[in-house]
Amino acid sequence: MSTERDILTLAQWLSPAFPVGAFAYSHGLETAIQSGAIASAGDLQDWLADVLTHGSGRNDCILLRAAYACDSNAALEDINQTALAVSASGERILETQLQGSAFSQTTAVIWGTDKAALCYPVAIGCAAAYMQLDVDLTVALCLHAFASNLVSAAVRAVPLGQTEGQAVLAALIPLCDQIARETRDAALDDLSSSAFLSDIAALQHETLQPRTFRS
C-alpha cells in the first residue's frame, strides 16, 4: 500500500524542479508542431494518447517494471540495453541517457541509491525498488509526468494557453491509469511501438531548423 512518503518522494522525483532537464526535450513533438500536424489542443491530445498507448509511454512502463523487479547487475544491463534498442532515434537515445544519468546522480547524493548511468525509466525503476516505493504508483506517476512534460513543451511551441494544456493533461489521466494497470504483467518481450508518426517526427527532428528543443 502506498504511503504519504511514497507519494511525496515520487512527487519530488517527477517534479519539473528535479534536475533532469526534462524541459529541454520534446520527444519529437516540435517536428509535428512545425509541420502543422499539431495545431490545437485536440491535435495534441490525440498525438499524446497514441504515444502513451502505442509508443514510448507504454514501453517506459514495461522497462520501469522490469528494472524494479531486477535481481542482478547482469539482468539490469540487459534491460538497459533493451531500453536503448527500442529508442527510435539518436536524439531519443540521448534524451533517455542524459535524463537517466542526471536522475541517478541526484538520487544517489540525496537518497543513497545507485549512481550508475541508466536510461531514464530504468533508473527510476531501480531507485523506486531501492526505496521500496509502490511500483504501481511509480509507473502511473511516471507516465503522467511524461505526458505533463510534453504538454508543457506544446504550450510553449504551438502555442497553447495554459488552461488548454492543463485540460489536455487532465483528459489523459484515465489513460495513464489504464496503461499503468495493463502493464502489470508485461515483460520485455511485450515491448513494441506502432506510434509511427511520433517515431518519424523524432528522426526528422535531428535535422530540424530552427528548433528550440534537444529532441
**How many Cβ atoms sit within 10 Å of the Cβ of residue 182?**
13
195 CA to centre of own chain: 15
**In the numeric block, which cell numbers belong to residue 32?**
509535428
The average pLDDT across 23-45 equals: 97
Separation in Å, CA 5 to CA 60, 131, 134, 183: 23, 10, 10, 24
Is the pLDDT at 1 greater than 70, yes or no?
Answer: no
Q: Using 50, 70 and 90 to split pLDDT, how confident is the model at 3? A: confident
Say yes or no to pLDDT of 2 above 70. no
Helix (H) or strand (E) holding 56: helix 56-69
Tens of pLDDT, residues 68-77: 999 999 999 9
> Residue 156 corresponds to which cell in the numbers above?
510553449
Q: What is the pLDDT of residues 79-104, one digit of tens each?
A: 999 999 999 999 999 999 999 999 99
> Residue 189 has what pLDDT?
97
**Which pTM value belongs to this model?**
0.97
Task: Report the distance separating Cα 149 and Cα 139, nearest Å.
Answer: 15
- Residues 215 and 207: their CA atoms lie apart, in Å, by 10
Instruction: Kindly indicate the confidence band of residue 193, based on its pLDDT and cuts at 50, 70 and 90.
Output: very high
